[in-house]
Structure 1
Amino acid sequence: MPTRSYKRILLKLSGEALMGDQQFGIDTETVAAIAGEVKLAKEAGFELCLVVGGGNIFRGLAAAEQGFDRASADYMGMLATVMNALAVQNALEQQGCDTRVMSAIPMASVCEPYIRRKAVRHMEKDRIVMFAAGTGNPYFTTDTAAALRAAEMQCDALFKGTSVDGVYTSDPKKDANATRYDTLSYDRVLSDNLRVMDASAVALCRDNDIPIVVFNIRERGNLARVLAGDGVSTTVSN
């Protein structure tokens, strides 16, 4: 499916994308720049929802490896994603976008609980919806949450914004001979362990025929260009 035919997309951002040049936390200028990218895509006529990771604040799996109870560590990571979603919401609303944050863990004083039909209605009302707290369950990553929400929202594609312009044969930051794929199959990603997203997320997208588009979110205007079919990216599909 050509990129320009997409209408409703889910944008997955890693928590690290919000750090900028910092080693930890949220960089306000970086968040504002990402919000600008989302706004440009919205103005181009696309329906958007977002899932943001929490690795810039707390990474559950890493904490579990250091001795934390895995379930508790994952819940802490989910809370970090709520903080990030609120930061992105603030940046978007400062730029005039109508938004809603919906959390898989109910916290009524902070944001709305996730209800699928209500989320769909928000999108029909031209709001940008941010899904926080992952799936609401430990042992699942925000990649899996993104694939799940993309399926539930009947999105045409899942866009993963990274610091590189697609999927490479090896890490392009470490290997000067790494080459970029224009297209890949889900099965190739899984069999070659290319780490586009975690395996359960890739399998969920495969089973629901949701293309995964990997692109560089840090390049100004790139999201809108990729959505228009002009930017550089890698598409994983059937």
Structure 2
Amino acid sequence: MKKIVLSLGGSILVPALESHTIPEYAEVLKQMARRGQVFVVVGGGGEARRYIGVARSLGINEAASDEIGIMITRINASLLCYALGNAAYPSIATSYQQAREYGESGKIVVMGGVTPGQTTDAVSAVLAESVGADLIINGTSVDGIYSADPKTDRTARRYERMTPQELLGIISGARLDAGSNTVIDIVAAKVVERSGIPLLVIDGRKPENLTAAVCEGTFTGTIVSDGKCTPLPL
């Protein structure tokens, strides 16, 4: 059975309380689970960054601010887990060991952050390595990896395929303080490089993009791979 780890940004899942995509993602994940084993790592998004901002204004250090951000990721993960109902393992995994154990149930495993200083992108990459995943998918707010930030640079170009080494070259200057927000962080990229697990970066704002990629093999995005065949569709 194929194993997929999905990194889902909090701002994708819950952009606002009145306009979230939780029910849509729950249905998509159920479809994926019929084709393989699914692990989902949920980020904190804008809500986590707001709380981290408050923490900093109080003089709280970065490690403690990260702990607060992790709490928010687990709240988002809990919302998704409840929406999945019986399709998901009923508890949020708080460690890689728990995620592996919960995965033995055959149900969808949902988790948030794990360690201060480590983004949920990094968590998804380490989790993928830990469970022997066939693919990592990063659902983000852009449709792939660009040469520069496409939101601010009109000349930025999207890569359809790149190697882990090329990805590291692009993001090597990314910051790692609490609440940092890049398409993928350098820790995750290094784990992708060492594990050899393909990474697919797609626009996660539309849940149907995930369905198309996994079930049909059609998508607009960026594949990060060392040249081996990417296991799509499942």
TM-score if structure 2 supplies the norm length? 0.80
Residue 146 (1) aligns with residue 138 (2)? no
* SS class of match (1:57): helix
State, as a whole percentage, how many aligned pairs show the same letter: 30
The partner residue of 1:192 within 170, 174, 189 is 170
**How much has 1:70 moved relative to structure 2?**
1.4
Could you tell me which residue of structure 2 aligns to residue 110 of structure 1?
none
> Helix, strand or coil: the match of 1:221?
helix
Q: Quote the offset at 1:64 in angstroms.
A: 6.6
Task: Please list the CA deviations of residues 182-229 of structure 1 after superposition, one character each: whole Å capped at 9, or x if unmatched.
Answer: 111111111122854111111011111111110112224211211232
| Residue of structure 2 equivalent to 1:127 | 107
Inter-CA distance 115–41: structure 2 relative to 1 (3 Å threshold): closer
Q: Does 1:85 align with 2:77?
A: yes
- Residue 39 (structure 1) shift: 2.1
Q: Does the residue aligned with 1:101 lie in a helix, a strand or coil?
A: coil
Any stretches of 5+ residues in structure 1 without a counterpart? 1-5, 105-113
Deviations 1:157-205 (A, max 9, x none): 1100012221122223333443221111111111122854111111011
Is contact 1:159–1:214 with CA below 8 Å preserved after alignment?
A: yes
Deviations 1:108-132 (A, max 9, x none): xxxxxx462x533533432000123
Counterpart in the other structure of 2:219: 231
Indicate how the Cα distance of structure 1 residues 196 and 185 shifts in structure 2: closer, same or farther if over 3 A, else same.
farther
Partner of residue 58, structure 1: 48
Supply the RMSD in Å over aligned alpha carbons: 2.4
Q: 1:27 to 1:151 in 2, by over 3 A?
A: farther
Number of equivalent positions? 214
Residue 109 of structure 2 aligns with an amino acid whose one-letter code is V
Deviates more, 1:6-15 or 1:186-195: 186-195
How far, CA to CA, are the matches of 1:63 and 1:139 in structure 2? 18
Quote the Cα distance in structure 2 between the aligned partners of 1:27 and 1:210. Answer: 36
Gap regions ≥5 residues in structure 2: 173-181, 227-234
Deviation at 1:90, TM superposition (A): 1.4
| Structure 1 stretches of 4+ moved >6 Å | none
Query: Does the 8 A contact of 1:92 with 1:99 survive in 2?
Result: no
Give the TM-score normalised by the residue count of structure 1.
0.79
Give the Cα–Cα distance (whole angstroms) in 1 for the partners of residues 222 and 46 of structure 2: 25
More divergent stretch after superposition (53-62 vs 164-173): 53-62
Q: CA contact under 8 A between 1:190 and 1:202: conserved in structure 2?
A: yes
Relative distance call for 1:193 and 1:98 in structure 2 (3 A) is closer
Q: For 1:79-117, what per-residue CA distance to the aligned partner results, in whole angstroms no more than 9, with x for missing partners?
A: 111111110111212xx523343343xxxxxxxxx462x
Q: Is the 8 A contact 2:14 2:20 kept in 1?
A: no
